[in-house]
Amino acid sequence: MMSFMGMVIFFSAGAQSFQFEKGFADFPFTYNNIAVTSFGSGSFVDYGAAWSSCGVATKPGSIWLGAYGPASFTNTFSQGVNDMVYNINAADTTETFTFSVNRGNVQISILSGCADKWTIAGNQLTCKGVDAGTCIQVHASEPFTNVTIEHNGLMDGSLVTLVLDEALKYADNHTSIRVQPIAAQKICLGNAITDIPVTITGDPIELAHLSCLVTSSNQTFLPDSAVQVLGANGNRLLHFTATPAYAGVVQLQLTIQDNDVLLIQVPIVLEVMGAASTVTIDTKNSVCKGEKVTLKGTPANGVWSLTTTVISNGAATNLPASLQADGTLMANYPGSVQLYYAVKDSSGCTTTTSTSIQVHDVPVNKVMAPKGTILCEGSQLQLMAPNAAAYQWFKNQQPLQENAQILPVNTPGNYGVKLTDTNGCSNPAIVQVTITGIAKPKVGFSYTNYCANLPVQFQNLSDVNNSGPVNFEWTDDKGNTSNAANPAFTYASAGDVKVQLKITSQVCIGFTTAFTKTLHIDRPDAGKLLPVIETEQTAIRLQTGRVGVQYQWQPATAFVNANTANPLLNVTAGRQQYTVMVTAASGCTVTDTVAVNATANAGIYVANVFSPNGDGQNDRLLVNLIGYNRLNFFRVYDRKGRLLFQTADEGNGWDGTVNGTLQPIDTYVWVAEASNEKGQRIYREGSTTLLR
């Protein structure tokens, strides 16, 4: 049986498809502005006879392809076309037909006949051992300008007919199913293969009865069982259930067939690219809470990320670690974190490596004092820390040399410990305990007023600032006792008295110290009547004759200062009596009396000093008249002769002020005139000193 071939050309021009039929003898020709030419090589001849014995009508101008060996025949188009239909009649299974287009990848639709002999490789269809009467439709993903038909020449007498009426009718009566070309797929080694969409167009009835099958050219690289065709009708997905274990290229073929045995085979190139980089992580795998870790990855242009095992802490959810903006890892809470480092190479593939980092909690720095925190002077306490791998003790924030679990303490202060556990974790927050030192009291006291029948006031001079709460116990050999801090005892008779103060600590048992002092109790002397003082002066000094610590003269207004041992007295005419109370260091007091008799001639007397300081003593400068009963005037002037004060009332003296302003300490001049009952007058002038 000889082979016959027919062809239908569908020109791509807008949305239309144009059909025509031409014989070999018609080349070259032009149709719809597309010029079609042909040429051949190898073994082919022009064959003008009809082969009615094969049941196929042929036109004169057909060619005999492969009549005397391998041959090829090429049609060339001045514009691109997309589709061609061929009818093949062959009986010899040794024959091989190859169809090649110069652009685009091809798909095949089996319109009738053999469906399992065709293979597709890019722009080429090949069939070996095709059955007689096979009709195929070749479709290219891009418009092509030439197609070459090759024959291996193993069947002499094969006839190729360029146009066949029966082939045209067959193509018109069957719906063509189209599959959009699928670009080569590139994935990175280790990444899952994304589903590949397959878009099929055509009659809805045909689309509803499609069967799809994917085969792989390398079952080791990617077995057929790892690829599934999902979906229905014209929307299908290639779904991959496995990932290639190594880099390389595999040719997949998607075969689509409907109920009319229309077969479309779609080639799919899958390239798995392996990352060229070796990615490593250099970091610690065990860190402590609060620690900041510097991350180092190789190569250095990678991206860090992490996933964490979430640990629930009460009502809050805490992440064990977080990535900081500067590329460091901050350990926040105990738990496990998975750290990833991804590096993208020049092919766009990313290699990722990971490591697990465990975040450990820090130990609780706790100081325990089994015997309390009160340290009695001369004793020792022990402080204890929880069990740990290492210890660092501190006193008043300064490190100590001791590194044991138990620390002996014999001085007060603030003590703390820093623990390091078996994971090497330490707690930076040092919790301190204060050891309070209790010192033995230092006892001492003084006293005032050691006079009989007067309270002796004791002043506690003991140092108990560092002794804590204490008890005081006062006793003497007269039977007096007291627990007050500063008691007072009264003694009825003079003589020696032994007094003891004992202090006992309320905190440290056995802390008792005592101090004893002997007091001499004095008896007060009896008051005396001092000799009468005769004077003609207007101011004199009096003497008490006793030694004391305090003096009080009465009436105080008669003295410039009534609180000294020898005060200055402004003498009053006639006989006047004065008293002085002297207080001794023991507190005993005695009061003596002295009389002053002013026997001078009659006249005007003014004190030569006065002290207007508001103490009630000698606050005014007064005029004293002896032998005269009426004051005519009394005037006071300053050094410049300005009148400061005047009066005619003997009882109204100058208070040292002018218009309410106290005058400075200075010497002032006075003048006075007085009259007696006989109308006789006397005039006197003098000076006085203003004191404060």
pLDDT digits (tens, 9 = 90+) for 589-646: 999 999 998 765 678 888 889 999 888 888 999 998 877 889 999 999 999 999 999 9
CB 653 within 8 A of CB 599: no
Assess whether the previous peptide bond of 555 is cis (omega < 30° from 0). Answer: yes
b/e burial code for range 582-595 (CB count within 10 A of at least 16 → b): bbbebbbbbebebe
CA distance 354 to 306: 9
pLDDT (0 to 100) of residue 122: 76
Give strand pairing partners of 338: 307, 356
Q: Model confidence at 359, in pLDDT bands (50, 70, 90)? A: very high
pLDDT digits (tens, 9 = 90+) for 105-126: 776 655 555 556 777 777 777 7
Burial class of residue 678, CB neighbours in 10 A (0-12, 13-18, 19+): exposed
The whole-angstrom separation of Cα 346 and Cα 299 is 13
Q: What value does the mean pLDDT of the chain take?
A: 81
pLDDT of residue 8: 33
- Contact criterion met (CB below 8 Å) for 663 and 643: no
- Mean pLDDT throughout 463-473? 93
Q: How far apart are CA 662 and CA 668, in angstroms?
A: 13
Tokens linked to 186: 């590139």
For the chain, percent of residues with pLDDT exceeding 70: 79
For residue 14, is pLDDT > 60?
no
Residue 5 has pLDDT above 50, yes or no: no
Q: What is the pLDDT of residue 132?
A: 58
| Phi, psi for residue 403 in degrees, rounded to 5 | -135, 30
Closest CA to 40 of 9, 71, 70: 71
- Asked if 114 and 76 count as a contact pair (C-beta separation under 8 A), the reply is no
Task: Measure the CA–CA gap between 245 and 219, rounded to whole angstroms.
Answer: 12
Instruction: Give the range among 242-246, 550-554, 645-649 with minimum mean pLDDT.
Output: 242-246
Please tell me what DSSP assigns to residue 103: S
Dihedrals φ, ψ of 74, to 5°?
-125, 135
pLDDT of residue 182: 83
CA–CA dist 54, 50 (Å, integer):
9
Spatial separation of the C-alpha atoms in residues 533 and 247, rounded to whole Å: 139
Average pLDDT over residues 60-76: 62
Q: How far is Cα 312 from Cα 326, in angstroms, rounded to an integer?
A: 27
* CB-CB contact of 359 with 334 (8 Å): yes
Q: How confident is the model at residue 131 (pLDDT cuts 50, 70, 90)?
A: low
- Weakest-pLDDT range from 22-36, 165-179, 189-203, 542-556: 165-179
For residue 55, pLDDT beyond 60: no
pLDDT at position 12 is 30
Residues 6+ apart with CB under 8 A from 256: 177, 179, 200, 210, 211, 212, 263, 264, 265, 266
Q: Measured between alpha carbons, how far is 494 from 588 in angstroms, rounded to an integer?
A: 11
Higher pLDDT, 682 or 34: 682
Average pLDDT over residues 534-551: 86
Top-confidence residue, 267 or 377: 377
**Predicted pLDDT at 47:** 47
Q: Give the per-residue pLDDT at 352.
A: 84
For residues 89 and 154, what is the distance between their CA atoms, to the nearest angstrom? 15
Determine the 3-state secondary structure of 557 from DSSP: helix
Residue 220 has pLDDT above 80, yes or no: yes
* Rounded-to-integer distance, Cα 99 and Cα 140, Å: 11
Q: How many CB atoms lie within 10 A of CB 210?
A: 20
Return the structure tokens found at 26: 């018609």
Instruction: Please indicate whether residue 254 or residue 240 has the higher confidence score (pLDDT).
Output: 240
Transcribe 478-522 into DSSP letters: TS-EE-SSS-EEE-SS-EEEEEEEEEEESSSTT-EEEEEEEEEEB
The whole-number pLDDT of residue 51 equals 40
Extract the tokens encoding 91.
Answer: 């009986």
- Give Cβ neighbours of residue 448 (< 8 Å, ≥ 6 apart): 456, 457, 459, 587
CA distance 469 to 499: 23
Question: Mean pLDDT throughout 401-430?
Answer: 92
Q: Are 122 and 79 in contact (CB under 8 A)?
A: no
Highest mean pLDDT among 13-27, 250-264, 284-298, 631-645: 631-645
pLDDT score recorded for residue 20: 35
- Tokens read off for 586: 């023991």
Taken in order 54, 55, 56, 60, is the CA torsion positive or negative?
positive
Q: Which residue has 């002077």 as its token pair?
A: 377
> Order of strands, edge to edge, in the sheet holding 321-323?
292-294, 328-331, 321-323
Sign for the pseudo-dihedral over CA of 23, 24, 26, 27? positive
pLDDT at 59: 41
The answer to whether residues 185 and 193 touch, using CB atoms and an 8 Å cutoff, is yes
Where does the pLDDT of residue 36 fall: very low under 50, low under 70, confident under 90, or very high at 90 and above? confident
Q: What is the per-residue pLDDT for 135?
A: 59
- CA 678 vs. chain centroid, Å, equals 109
At residue 46, the pLDDT reads 52
**Cβ–Cβ contacts within 10 Å for residue 322, how many?**
14
* 326-353 mean pLDDT: 86
Q: How confident is the model at residue 309 (pLDDT cuts 50, 70, 90)?
A: low
Name the DSSP letter for residue 212.
Answer: E
* Contact of 21 with 6, CB cutoff 8 Å: no
Q: pLDDT band at residue 310, thresholds of 50, 70 and 90?
A: low
Cβ contact 599:547 at 8 Å: no
Contact indicator for 168, 88 with CB cutoff of 8 Å: no
The confidence score (pLDDT) of residue 572 equals: 79
The confidence score (pLDDT) of residue 7 equals: 35
Cα distances (Å, whole numbers) of residue 280 to 202, 296, 304: 52, 9, 12
Cβ–Cβ < 8 Å for 41, 120: no
Q: What SS3 string covers 107-150?
A: EEEEEECCCCCEEEECCEEEEECCCCCEEEEEEEEEEEEEEEEE
pLDDT at 445: 96
Helix or strand (DSSP H, E) at 672: strand 667-675
Token output for 647: 């009066």
Helix H or strand E segment including 167: helix 165-172
Residue 260 — left, alpha, or beta (φ > 0 → left; ψ -120 to 50 → alpha)? alpha
- C-alpha span between 77 and 79 (Å, rounded): 5
Instruction: Give the separation between CA 566 and CA 560, rounded to whole angstroms.
Output: 11
pLDDT of 205:
79
- Least confident interval from 1-10, 85-94, 614-623: 1-10
Q: Residue 288: in which H helix or E strand, if any?
A: strand 286-288
Residue type, 120: I
At 545 the pLDDT is 86
pTM value > 0.85: no
What number is the average pLDDT over the span 285-311? 84
Q: 156, 61 in Cβ contact below 8 A? A: no
Is residue 221 pLDDT above 70, yes or no? yes
Q: Are 322 and 330 in contact (CB under 8 A)?
A: yes
Higher pLDDT, 503 or 207: 503
Structure tokens at 623: 């005029």
Distance, in Å, from the CA atom of 328 to the CA atom of 113, rounded to the nearest integer, reads 68
Percentage of the residues of the chain whose pLDDT score is greater than 90: 42
pLDDT at position 31 over 90? no
Q: Domains of the chain by range and CATH? A: 5-174 (no CATH), 179-269 (2.60.40), 280-360 (2.60.40.10), 374-438 (2.60.40.10), 445-521 (2.60.40.10), 601-692 (2.60.40.1220)
C-alpha to C-alpha distance for 258 and 178, rounded to whole angstroms: 12
> So what's the pLDDT on residue 308?
67
DSSP label at residue 475: E
